[in-house]
Amino acid sequence: MASTPVITDMKVIPVAGYDSMLLTLSGCHAPYFTRNIVVLTDSSGHQGVGEIHGGEYTRQSLESFRPFVLGHEISRYRRVLQEIHHHFRAAADDDGEGIQTLDISKLKYVVKSEWAVECAMLDLLGQYLNVPMAELLGEGVQRDSVDMLGYMFFVADRHKCPGGEFQYLDESASGDPWFRFRRNECLTPERIVEQARLLHGKYGFENFKLKGGVLHGEVEMDCVRAVKEAFPNARVNIDPNGAWSLDEAVRLCRDMHGIATYIEDPCGPESGFSGREIMREFKDATGFQVATNMIATDWRQFYHTVSLHACDIILADPHFWGFGGSIRLSQTLDSWHLTWGVHSNNHFDITLAAFAQVGCAAPGKPTPLDTHWIWQDGQNLLYDAPEIRGGQLRLPDKPGLGVTLNMEAVMKANALYNSLPTHDRDDAAAMQYLIPNWKFDHKRPALVR
């Protein structure tokens, strides 16, 4: 006889939401982003949910897991994951490099589809035991809330796109000042400061990170200085995704002590050396703490990163590492006097709830967590979406993931997904309306052509 409920149904629902014309080293976000939702139902009638990377590769991977999930007890989620891993075979074009050079086409290999199943099963197990998911991770709940940061972006002029499949959402009639702002051009230090002020006003952020790799490094550093001047007590950081050469990164950052708190992935592979080796040289030259979500995205990469003392802060997105793996890494980092955090891609509120769970289960003092949620706020797939208040995300007061799925909203997002001409991320397409024949170059900022 089963000791805990068994999984009786598994749904994989691809969904899409709206995005702004956000600029990064890889190009420009399209008007839409995609995700995959896993919905598990158990024999007690409870529903567990998980959210993961979008696109057909991930959807097909999730569909292939069905035989390993259905009929299994929710308490045996580790065995389910073990079976998936036992039968998993790497894709033919997965060379193991990960995203050291921010090749977006390889992101689907760094994100592991099975972690959406893990999340949904932990949600069910938490509901069965009447405890939050965080209580099932590591040594359990460490705090009731976790600090978040205001994730700032340069934004291109959406009016330069012709419409059609590149019709960006217009929120100019919104009564919310942040919603009105986030869809419009933002390319100067003055506008970046305005962005920071609006994020502080709406969400209470006391910490900020600017996505770099877009303009000349000097301009981006002027933006960091301007935000620090406007918020002198804030932790202000920049992430150029390895766009700068080692020499440029050292030149740009050497005199930024007291302004930037840490630098995330300032440089990457060059001259035959890996990103890990180059980042260690940057640390030696500048004395800056360094964060990454590019050079340590699995345990093997992590081993080489720490062996070289190449990084101080590992942004361990649970969609890269798994929920158990992310917390196991946080325990390791804490015992070694290093720092844990979370990286983010565009996501719905299910992922925001998941970030609350891992953030409240991680030991030590996590760095403020990333989230793109502020750019998707208002597109809820949940009846009870978590909220960021005072710069913090609170642990939900209900068991499991602590949220309730709004299936009407989910199916509306699924209809949007099915209406799109493509479901895989392509940051070059919108860029070519800004710069004809634009091509990605991991050593040239997006607008420097």
Q: What is the pLDDT of residue 1?
A: 53
Over pLDDT 90: what percentage of the chain?
Answer: 94
Element (H, E) at 6: none
Contacts of 219 (CB under 8 A, 6+ apart): 189
Average pLDDT over residues 263-269: 97
DSSP string computed for 243-283: -B-HHHHHHHHTT-BTTEEEEES-B--BTTB-HHHHHHHHH
Give the pLDDT confidence of 212-249 residue by residue, as tens digits. Answer: 999 999 999 999 999 999 999 999 999 999 999 999 99
Q: What is the mean pLDDT of the chain?
A: 96
User: Distance (Å, rounded) from C-alpha 262 to C-alpha 291?
Assistant: 7
Give the pLDDT confidence of 293-307 residue by residue, as tens digits. Answer: 999 999 999 999 999
Average pLDDT over residues 317-344: 97
Categorize the per-residue pLDDT at 25 as very low, low, confident or very high, splitting at 50, 70 and 90.
Answer: very high
User: Distance (Å, rounded) from C-alpha 119 to C-alpha 122?
Assistant: 5
User: Distance (Å, rounded) from C-alpha 276 to C-alpha 307?
Assistant: 10
Average pLDDT over residues 372-386: 97
Average pLDDT over residues 334-357: 97
Categorize the per-residue pLDDT at 30 as very low, low, confident or very high, splitting at 50, 70 and 90.
Answer: very high
Q: What is the pLDDT of residue 2?
A: 60
Give the active site residues.
Answer: 211, 343
Question: Per mean pLDDT, which range of 1-5, 133-137, 140-144, 331-335 is the poorest?
Answer: 1-5
Domains and CATH numbers, the chain: 7-135+408-418 (3.30.390.10), 138-401 (3.20.20.120)
Categorize the per-residue pLDDT at 89 as very low, low, confident or very high, splitting at 50, 70 and 90.
Answer: confident
Over pLDDT 70: what percentage of the chain?
Answer: 100
- Beta-sheet strand order (sheet of 290-292): 150-152, 207-211, 235-239, 260-264, 290-292, 313-315, 339-341
